[in-house]
Structure 1
Amino acid sequence: MEEDGNNKPTILVTNDDGIEAPGLLGLVHVLVSTGEFKVLVCAPDEERSAVSHGVIWAHPLSAKLVDIDGATAFAVSGTPADCASLGVSKALFPSVPDLVICGINKGSNSGYHVIYSGTVAGAREAFLNGVPALSISYDWYGGCTKDQLMNVQSAGVNKRNADDFKLAAEVCLPIIRRVMAEIKSQTYPQKCFLNIDLPADLARHKGFKLTKQGTSLIKLGWKQVTSEMQLQERKFGRDSATEATTETSKASQEPLFFFREIRELQFDDDDTDYRFLQEGYITVTPLSALSPAEKDCQTFFEGWLPNLFDHPTSSPML
């Protein structure tokens, strides 16, 4: 474990909601307030949610020093994976951090959603670079989408408080401290990182629960919008009464605009991360860089692939 002159272990914080997000600021505030850690921040300069493990390759990234009390912080023109990679590289900071925490994300990341998640990707990137990592997400919307929550808030009820994230960070301190102790004693496992989800009713959580990744997923489709007004209505979370129409009789030089919309909710009932999160537990799910296929899929292709050339196609491939 690398320590500074005050014998404090170093934690690097990043996220996908952007460097000004309440989840990151709440986490940094709590970490700094303990006096136990040296805190570094390397986070996107704007929101980059749901970018998965994308990286910027074609042009250089900018890193701008910003003021976050108690931490050395940079806003970076990159993805969460970029920020984690840069933060552990010794190119931006003089040493490699002992632990990387990506979060606290505004919204849960369980089941298949970890594939889309920039929060999980930030922790995964640190793991790929040999640095222990946690991704932390908070079911701040209580199972709602962002648009649904905006509709609720516009009615003036059930408003959430950005200070909720300070409580979320405080709740996570025991596992952060325990992980740091295991790192110091060199007993922390090297073949996984942890994905942590906090339940909506955090004040009455049921404790930490070791889980496995499930298959829950919100399936999305597309809806065409036809005017600037509809774009603004969607932006601020209000539904439009105007139905989109498509003119097929003549070509238009105007661009077409589409928004994603929820089509189907797919939730598993097994003993997995999503189920226990909804039951009020803080779920702790070990993840790795790879997601092996189910055993029956492997068995199928073991019998199928060797016989591939015994069944030639009727026409040659071009």
Structure 2
Amino acid sequence: MSEHKPLILVTNDDGITSHGIRTLANLMTQLGNVMVVAPNSPQSGMGHAITIAHPLRLYPTDIFPDFPAYECSGTPADCVKLAKNHILKDRKPDLVVSGINHGSNTSISVLYSGTMSAAIEAAIEGIPAIGFSLNDFSRQADFSHTEAHILAIARNVLEHGMAKGVALNVNFPAKQPEPLKGIKICRQADAKWQEVFDERRDPHGRRYFWLAGEFVNFDPHAEDTDEYALAHNYTSVVPCKYDLTAYDTIKEMQDWHL
């Protein structure tokens, strides 16, 4: 690897064989030296889980012939931790990119997303990071319309850096007949999943539950949200922090009799 080029770590939560990570890793070669460290199986919905109850396995793989790559038995957050503290212990990455996820990670989904948890883990370590997601769950999703925006956003992060503890959550609409209209810097929409647990019986008559439901947007007309941007064929960019402190509530609680 050239010491003069930025070092870019690529990971995801769909697994190292996904179409999205291959697209993202190949794009990053236009900006710097690339290394891939990604889960060896899908880890969607794992959030910021880390592996503590059993060993982590890490193996080099030749699935990407043009740059070094490793598959990990752990979560996306595990992948970033192992990359920084073991594989790249002598050099800190200049940028961590996660994705491209098959399926959007807007609004409340950022809390559940393994894609974004990898980016947030990098932010915890003071590394500029971006999570990329496409609002298309197909395993053969078309990512071609996202490439120019991915490169533009990543170039700007490499040039300008990121504030401490901040990672970008980038979501793309599925490919439409017309090109993307542009990039909007947004806030998370006020939305959540209205869950339904479908109760079923296995062949032995034992109960089990399957999570289902629908996504409900409580401010569909607000024009400054990620959901609005996607619905109107824009790329959404939301700066996210791992600090979940409700600072306004701290002030309100000063009047409590504790």
Q: Scaled by the length of structure 2, what TM-score is found? A: 0.89
Equivalent residue number for residue 45 of structure 1: 40
Equivalent residue number for residue 255 of structure 2: 303
C-alpha distance after superposition, 1:97-134 (max 9, x if no partner): 11000111111111111111111100000010111100
**1:166–1:13 distance in 2 versus 1, CA, 3 Å:** farther
Of the three residues 215, 218, 238, the one matched with 1:285 is 238
Alpha-carbon separation, structure 2, partners of 1:166 and 1:21: 15
Structure 1 or 2: more strand by fraction: 2
Please tell me the residue identity of whatever aligns with 1:301. M
Q: How does 1:139-288 map to 2 (within 5 A)?
A: 139-141=135-137, 162=140, 164-183=142-161, 188-201=162-175, 204-227=179-202, 255-262=206-213, 265-269=216-220, 270=222, 271-288=224-241
Point out the structure with max Rg over C-alpha.
1
Equivalent residue number for residue 56 of structure 1: 51
Given that 2:145 and 2:175 are in contact with CA atoms closer than 8 Å, whether structure 1 keeps it comes out as no
SS where residue 52 of structure 1 aligns? coil
For structure 1, the residue ranges without an aligned partner over 5 or more in a row are 142-159, 229-252, 309-318
**1:292–1:65 distance in 2 versus 1, CA, 3 Å:** same
**1:197–1:163 distance in 2 versus 1, CA, 3 Å:** closer
Alpha-carbon separation, structure 2, partners of 1:5 and 1:38: 7
Alpha-carbon separation, structure 2, partners of 1:226 and 1:178: 52
Q: Aligned Cα RMSD in Å?
A: 2.2
SS where residue 204 of structure 1 aligns? coil
Structure 1 or 2: more helix by fraction: 1
C-alpha distance after superposition, 1:164-195 (max 9, x if no partner): 12443343111111211224xxxx43341111
1:17 equivalent in alignment to 2:42 = no
Shift of 1:86: 1.2
SS where residue 68 of structure 2 aligns? strand
Shift of 1:265: 2.2
Equivalent residue number for residue 149 of structure 1: none
Shift of 1:161: 7.4
C-alpha distance after superposition, 1:69-89 (max 9, x if no partner): 312110101011111111122
> Which stretch shows the higher mean deviation, 7-16 or 23-32?
23-32
Alpha-carbon separation, structure 2, partners of 1:192 and 1:256: 42
For structure 2, the residue ranges without an aligned partner over 5 or more in a row are none
Given that 1:135 and 1:196 are in contact with CA atoms closer than 8 Å, whether structure 2 keeps it comes out as yes
Structure 1 runs, 4 residues or longer, greater than 3 Å off: 297-300
1:121 equivalent in alignment to 2:121 = no
Please tell me the residue identity of whatever aligns with 1:178. N
Give the percent of matched residue pairs that are identical in Structure 1 and Structure 2: 32
